[in-house]
């Protein structure tokens, strides 16, 4: 059923255009990478601050609070660009193990946000406390693992050969030295 | 033509050593560029508005340096896996030019503007230029595979 959906969506007008245009797919991918470049480090540093391993001159709640808005915009950018990328090669990604891992990790990130929602709301209390509570450190460590996994899985997507005999659409402007 | 044979190069022996190197490259540029972006956001007045820009610069500087150092180690490692291809690749050349400009800009003009806690048009222009340069580096890197 997911396969049929993937096969349908990649042949819609918009995603066919994405696939056949010389520059659209690379530009979308660039924006996706810029999202990681600009904000991946903010997520990393936020987690490092929660673990007490960096940026210690900032108060925890202040640091997290100030970066909340940029992180949200970045997440929006990354997810939108990711959706455009995925839709254009939906069938190929359906067969790609790293893509599936990445989707699972994204689900993990969403769950992490839900589960630790109340924890982050109480962040102001950590500033007075001598030691950051271990639950907060757990949240930070899990977040680090999830996001690092996302980067690795995302990079790995490009390393699996698509099953050429099964898919019906390919990126028309491929890697130049493989053409 | 080449003094050595790329097929004998350590990073080409194993199927996964290249992706591992790339992951280090990506994570380290994420650290470097995000910390630069934090200073830029402050100069644009979009984040950390309660703190002076100089404090943001001083606190993020070690992370930027660590990120850049790992980038400048993992980058050449990746380059030497296929030096001829990269040398002739227009996007790679663009990226190297943009990277040089970005690093120089960051440690001269941006440093001066951040440490002097200036706000106003100059600070905003500096931030926009800085972000533009680093975005060019990332985009340049990505387009290597597409030109």
- Residue B130 in contact with partner chain A when CB distance is under 8 A: no
Structural domain range at position A21: 2-173
pLDDT 10s digits, B5-35: 667 676 777 777 888 889 999 999 999 999 9
> Which pLDDT belongs to residue A178?
39
> Which pLDDT belongs to residue A177?
42
Compute φ and ψ for A47, nearest 5 degrees. -65, -40
Structure-block tokens of residue A145:
């693992």
pLDDT at A85 over 80: yes
Q: How many CB atoms lie within 10 A of CB A154?
A: 22
Where residue A111 falls among pLDDT bands split at 50, 70, 90?
A: very high
Residue in chain A closest to B142 (alpha carbons) equals: A30
What H or E segment, with its residue span, contains residue B137? helix B121-143
Q: Which residues of A touch B55 (CB under 8 A)?
A: 57
- Residue A156 in contact with partner chain B when CB distance is under 8 A: yes
Residue A178 lies in a domain: no
Whether the CB-CB separation of A120 and A52 falls below 8 Å is answered with: no
> Which pLDDT belongs to residue B136?
94
Average confidence score pLDDT of chain A: 84
Task: Give every residue of chain B whose pLDDT is below 70, as ranges.
Answer: 1-6, 8, 10
- Residue A159 in contact with partner chain B when CB distance is under 8 A: yes
Among A46, A101, A95, residue whose Cα is nearest residue A74: A46
Q: Which residues of B touch A54 (CB under 8 A)?
A: 63
Residue in chain B closest to A55 (alpha carbons) equals: B59
Residue A33 lies in a domain: yes
Q: Which residues of A touch B67 (CB under 8 A)?
A: 41
Residue predicted with more confidence, B117 or A78: A78
Where residue A174 falls among pLDDT bands split at 50, 70, 90?
A: low
Average confidence score pLDDT of chain B: 89
Contact between chains at A66 and B19 (C-beta distance less than 8 A): no
Contact between chains at A54 and B63 (C-beta distance less than 8 A): yes
Where residue A173 falls among pLDDT bands split at 50, 70, 90?
A: low
What value of ipTM does the predicted structure carry?
Answer: 0.82
- Residue B47 in contact with partner chain A when CB distance is under 8 A: yes
* Rounded Cα gap, residues B60 and B119, in angstroms: 19
- Residue B146 in contact with partner chain A when CB distance is under 8 A: yes
Whether the CB-CB separation of A61 and A126 falls below 8 Å is answered with: yes
> Which pLDDT belongs to residue B109?
92
Residue A122 lies in a domain: yes
Where residue A134 falls among pLDDT bands split at 50, 70, 90?
A: confident
Q: Which of B23, B47, B135 sits opposite A151 (nearest CB)?
A: B23
- pTM of the predicted structure, to 2 decimals: 0.86
- Residue B135 in contact with partner chain A when CB distance is under 8 A: yes
* Rounded Cα gap, residues B6 and B12, in angstroms: 7
Residue A27 lies in a domain: yes
> Which pLDDT belongs to residue A172?
66
Torsion angle of the four alpha carbons A81, A84, A86, A91, in this order, in degrees rounded to the nearest 10: -170
Q: Which residues of A touch B65 (CB under 8 A)?
A: none
Contact between chains at A38 and B33 (C-beta distance less than 8 A): yes
**Where are the extended beta strands (E) located within B3-122?**
none
Region of A32 on the Ramachandran plot (φ > 0 left; ψ -120 to 50 alpha; else beta): alpha
SS3 for B134? Answer: helix
Q: Name residues whose C-beta falls within 8 Å of residue A62's C-beta, 6 or more positions apart in sequence.
A: A127, B50
Residue A6 lies in a domain: yes
pLDDT at A175 over 70: no
Q: Which of B33, B50, B85 sits opposite A41 (nearest CB)?
A: B33
Which residue do the tokens 């022996």 mark? B13
Could you give the number of structural domains in chain A? 1
Among A175, A177, A151, A157, residue whose Cα is nearest residue A89: A157
The least confident of A59-63, A75-79, A167-171 is: A167-171
Q: Which residues of A touch B143 (CB under 8 A)?
A: 26, 30
């Amino acid at each position: 059923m997911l396969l049929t959906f993937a096969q349908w969506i990649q042949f819609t007008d918009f995603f066919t255009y994405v696939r056949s245009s010389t520059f659209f797919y690379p530009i979308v991918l660039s924006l996706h990478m810029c999202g990681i470049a600009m904000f991946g480090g903010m997520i990393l540093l936020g987690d490092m601050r929660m673990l007490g391993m960096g940026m210690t001159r900032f108060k925890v709640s202040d640091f997290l609070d100030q970066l909340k808005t940029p992180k949200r915009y970045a997440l929006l950018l990354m997810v939108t660009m990711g959706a455009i990328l995925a839709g254009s090669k939906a069938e190929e990604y359906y067969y790609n193990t790293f893509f599936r891992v990445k989707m699972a990790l994204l689900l993990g990130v969403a769950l992490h946000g839900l589960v630790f929602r109340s924890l982050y709301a109480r962040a102001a209390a950590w500033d007075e406390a001598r030691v950051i509570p271990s639950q907060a450190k757990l949240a930070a460590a899990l977040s680090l693992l999830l996001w690092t996994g996302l980067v690795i899985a995302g990079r790995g997507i490009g390393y699996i050969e698509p099953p050429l005999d099964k898919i019906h659409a390919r990126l028309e402007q491929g890697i130049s030295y493989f053409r | 033509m080449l003094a050595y044979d790329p097929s004998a190069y350590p990073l080409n022996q194993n199927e996964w050593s290249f992706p591992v190197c790339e992951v280090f490259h990506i994570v380290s540029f994420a650290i470097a560029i995000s910390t630069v972006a934090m200073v830029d956001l402050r100069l644009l007045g979009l984040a950390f508005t309660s703190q002076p820009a100089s404090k943001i610069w001083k606190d993020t500087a070690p992370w930027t340096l660590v990120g850049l150092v790992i980038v400048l180690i993992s980058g050449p490692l990746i380059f030497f896996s296929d030096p001829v291809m990269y040398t002739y690749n227009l996007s790679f050349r663009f990226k190297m030019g943009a990277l040089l400009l970005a690093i120089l800009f960051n440690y001269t003009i941006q440093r001066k503007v951040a440490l002097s806690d200036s706000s106003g048009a100059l600070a905003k222009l500096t931030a926009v230029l800085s972000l533009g340069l680093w975005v060019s580096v990332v985009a340049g890197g990505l387009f290597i595979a597409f030109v």
